[in-house]
Structure 1
Amino acid sequence: MRAAGAQRGRVKRARLADVDPSLIRPALAGLVPYEPGKPVEEVQRELGLERVVKLASNEGPYGPFPAALEAIERATLELNRYPDGGAYRLGQALAERYGVRFEEITVCAGADAIIGYLSLATLGPGDEAVTGWPSFPSYVLDPLKVGGTPVRVPLERGRFDLEAILAAVTPRTKLVFIAAPNNPTGTTNTRAELDAYFAAVPPHVLTVLDQAYFEYVDDPDYPDGIAEYAKAGRRVLVLRTFSKIFGLAGLRVGYGVGSEEVVTAIAKVRRAFDVASVGQEAALASLGDHGEIERRRIANREAMALLTQTIRGAGLDFAGPAVGNFLFVEVGDDAETMHGALLRKGVVVRPLGPFGAPDALRITAGTPEEIDFLSKTLSDVVPAFR
């Protein structure tokens, strides 16, 4: 028999001992923890649904590359051993791939972890980190965690306003975060705009150019931050990830390319065994499969066209041009209510209040079958909001 007070499979139990309030740093008092999208299994259990489609977290809709699956199977035989704390083989492969030194590569448990470690390594009370807004919450949350001051610069027509960001830089600014493309709007800046920014940004500032969706973008005006800025001598840390097109989001592997001094500082605050051995091996096996990357890039291009058609067909607006694998759908004050209505029908999308956009939803381009399910669900849900 379920214990009294139990809900949704959770049993009510007595609280453990409280701690003195002064134990927790004051800088954390106003923080709201990042809320990931709900897992499919949880939505099915809570709502009693047979089919649930998750289009909330900008994951690639396909699993690991075939070579990565083989590497994962081999790596499981050594799971009694700690992973390589320095990710030596993966770091060497990345250094060779990009033509930089091993000491200029940092490998961590996702690009998001690098943002956190960099904030810990560089920011103190009162130090500033400037970013466009709305954007990825970690650009704000991680500086706040260490007592830093995030400076939010409003987007211009859904894109980072790089001139306004430069104007927001002060002598206390240490970091500028630029998402290209931006999450959650899916838009990006041109090469000319980024060139002008890097030519003007003061030398005391480190720019973090987040290119998590790099492999999806096929716009010829989209710059390669490693080749065009890091290797050109700009003070920049370029972030990339294996979570998106490589299909390894569940293994958490990201990397950054930047100066040896920055990489060394990150290593000083990074956990000793940050990236699991399975993740390292899967990432390493994925690097050389250019054919699979191209196949997935083409599949994403087709999925984005289908998603765009679906959203337009439902009479909804979105930011653009979107160059990643998701759309920023503008629904006004009904965003949270529409999110709930879609959820009850089995479609998980992302409400964007934590990203600074409470009037919008982010919808990921899934498989054609998933987008078809979304289309049918929108035709049921949207008329109630007209």
Structure 2
Amino acid sequence: MVAAHPSADEEALLDWNESPIGPPALAVKRVIDAAGRLHRYPRGLMEEVAALAAAHFGVAPGNVLLTAGVDEAIDITLSIAARAWGVKPGFDGYEDRVLANGKEFHPIPLGPDWQPTAAPDPAIGPDDIVYLAQPGNPTGNLHPAEWIAQVRAAAGHVFIDETYQEFCSGPSALRRRADRPWDPRLLVYRSFSKAAGLAGIRLGCLIGDQETIARLEPRRRFMPIDAVSLNAVAGLLEEPEFMDRLSAYVREARAGLTARLRASGLFEEVRPSEANFVLAKPYPQAADALAGQLRADLVRVKDCTVLGMPGWLRISVSSEDDRARFDASLDRVVQALPV
């Protein structure tokens, strides 16, 4: 149920990785100011942004490794594991990158509530890495802290993907007692592309103990992050209040979107989300009409069938104008369906 791509003058409802309040002003300024230097390598920018990121997350620069998105972070971390695990349904990028690197991927099944159905598989061992999104992707929910602690005790390394952390109510895995050393088995990924809704850039960072980060750094490609992305994130980190404003907007709008979906009468289930989208399952008798209307109105939502969640739609938090267009589409479907 994905609408056709709009033409240049026909904007579609925001995708789930885009900012509903536009880009941060300082990010735009940094990019514009840097435009005249695009003929030069971004020397020093990696170090500048790594230092800004370290300060933002409250860690030392040696704990941070910038990466060109989560795909590069997965590729790099696979170098320290013999095989990998990840939940199903879950982010398909983990399995794709594991298989592309010629390693085994083992699924951890989730139940109907999208939560683990049992204790961690006893086969998980010290040569393994487990990839976990927290909040979940595409489920938008939080896995129990006790279960994650059990996984961390069993695996050689655990990669906690906190791409949507800025929008959730749970604590970050980065929160720890200052008098305790960093767990060398823990790697945390944070995405600036998602935290600021900057879908046009690919930049995030791995955070871990300094010895592990130093071990992983040589696996990174030469100059893996372009100057535009680096300048955009440098500007973003100089304007931290933007992420606070975006987070507050998403939380409030997400509650309104959830209520609107439930009140429409078109969905048999709408689940709470800790991300910047909401999961909803249309009634079978409404599904085709809804799909057709959204397509006609150029409203883009994500059909989660390909993600292992048949019948579910992922609907992003959007701007007020896009929200009004989505509401109008729902109203048209309600009016067209028989009583």
TM-score, scaled to structure 2: 0.86
- Name the counterpart of 1:321: 272
User: Is the counterpart of residue 101 in structure 1 residue 50 in structure 2?
Assistant: no
Q: Tell me if the contact between 1:229 and 1:236 (Cα under 8 Å) persists in the aligned partners.
A: no
Q: How many angstroms does 1:296 deviate by? A: 1.8
User: Is the counterpart of residue 214 in structure 1 residue 165 in structure 2?
Assistant: yes
- Name the counterpart of 1:22: none
Deviations 1:63-84 (A, max 9, x none): 2211111111111121001224
Q: In structure 2, how many angstroms separate the alpha carbons of the residues matched to 1:178 and 1:385?
A: 43
SS in structure 2 at match of 1:249: coil
Q: In structure 2, how many angstroms separate the alpha carbons of the residues matched to 1:168 and 1:377?
A: 48
Aligned CA distance change for structure 1 residues 324 and 272 (closer, same or farther; 3 Å)? same
- Name the counterpart of 1:122: 80
Q: In structure 1, how many angstroms separate the alpha carbons of the residues matched to 2:278 and 2:123?
A: 30
Q: In structure 1, how many angstroms separate the alpha carbons of the residues matched to 2:198 and 2:287?
A: 30
- Name the counterpart of 2:323: 371
Letter in 1 for 2:24: F
Q: Tell me if the contact between 1:136 and 1:355 (Cα under 8 Å) persists in the aligned partners.
A: yes
Q: How many angstroms does 1:355 deviate by? A: 1.7
User: Is the counterpart of residue 176 in structure 1 residue 138 in structure 2?
Assistant: no
Aligned CA distance change for structure 1 residues 211 and 200 (closer, same or farther; 3 Å)? closer
Q: How many angstroms does 1:142 deviate by? A: 1.0
Unaligned runs of 5+ in 1: 1-36
Q: Tell me if the contact between 1:132 and 1:160 (Cα under 8 Å) persists in the aligned partners.
A: no
Q: In structure 2, how many angstroms separate the alpha carbons of the residues matched to 1:337 and 1:85?
A: 54
- What do you get for the CA RMSD once the two structures are aligned? 3.0
How many residues of Structure 1 are paired with residues of Structure 2 in the alignment?
A: 333
Q: Tell me if the contact between 2:26 and 2:238 (Cα under 8 Å) persists in the aligned partners.
A: no
User: Is the counterpart of residue 233 in structure 1 residue 182 in structure 2?
Assistant: yes
Aligned CA distance change for structure 1 residues 211 and 290 (closer, same or farther; 3 Å)? same
2:5 to 39, 43, 57: 43
- Name the counterpart of 1:274: 224
Aligned CA distance change for structure 1 residues 195 and 287 (closer, same or farther; 3 Å)? farther
Tell which deviates more after alignment, 110-119 or 300-309: 110-119
Unaligned runs of 5+ in 2: none
Letter in 1 for 2:80: T
Q: How many angstroms does 1:320 deviate by? A: 3.1
TM-score, scaled to structure 1: 0.76
Letter in 2 for 1:182: G
Letter in 1 for 2:33: R
Q: Tell me if the contact between 1:135 and 1:184 (Cα under 8 Å) persists in the aligned partners.
A: yes
Q: In structure 2, how many angstroms separate the alpha carbons of the residues matched to 1:44 and 1:141?
A: 28
SS in structure 2 at match of 1:74: helix
Q: Tell me if the contact between 2:189 and 2:206 (Cα under 8 Å) persists in the aligned partners.
A: yes
- Name the counterpart of 1:145: 100
- Name the counterpart of 1:33: none
- Name the counterpart of 2:29: 70
Q: How many angstroms does 1:279 deviate by? A: 1.3
1:183-262 paired onto structure 2 within 5 Å:
183-189=137-143, 193-195=144-146, 197-198=148-149, 201-202=152-153, 204-217=155-168, 219=169, 222-228=170-176, 233-234=182-183, 235-262=185-212
- Name the counterpart of 1:285: 235
- Name the counterpart of 2:88: 133
SS in structure 2 at match of 1:251: coil
Q: In structure 1, how many angstroms separate the alpha carbons of the residues matched to 2:201 and 2:288?
A: 30
Taking only the aligned residue pairs, the percentage that are identical comes to 26
Deviations 1:252-276 (A, max 9, x none): 1111101334433443332211111
- Name the counterpart of 1:12: none
Aligned CA distance change for structure 1 residues 168 and 344 (closer, same or farther; 3 Å)? farther
Aligned CA distance change for structure 1 residues 150 and 165 (closer, same or farther; 3 Å)? farther
SS in structure 1 at match of 2:223: coil
Q: In structure 1, how many angstroms separate the alpha carbons of the residues matched to 2:194 and 2:333?
A: 29
Tell which deviates more after alignment, 64-73 or 286-295: 286-295
Q: Tell me if the contact between 1:243 and 1:254 (Cα under 8 Å) persists in the aligned partners.
A: yes
SS in structure 1 at match of 2:118: helix
Q: Give the number of the structure with larger relative contact order, counting CA–CA contacts within 8 Å between residues 6 or more apart.
A: 2
Letter in 2 for 1:233: W
Q: Tell me if the contact between 1:112 and 1:138 (Cα under 8 Å) persists in the aligned partners.
A: yes
- Name the counterpart of 2:16: 57
Q: In structure 1, how many angstroms separate the alpha carbons of the residues matched to 2:219 and 2:187?
A: 16
Q: Tell me if the contact between 1:159 and 1:188 (Cα under 8 Å) persists in the aligned partners.
A: no
Aligned CA distance change for structure 1 residues 337 and 254 (closer, same or farther; 3 Å)? farther
Q: Tell me if the contact between 1:252 and 1:275 (Cα under 8 Å) persists in the aligned partners.
A: yes
Q: Tell me if the contact between 2:279 and 2:314 (Cα under 8 Å) persists in the aligned partners.
A: yes
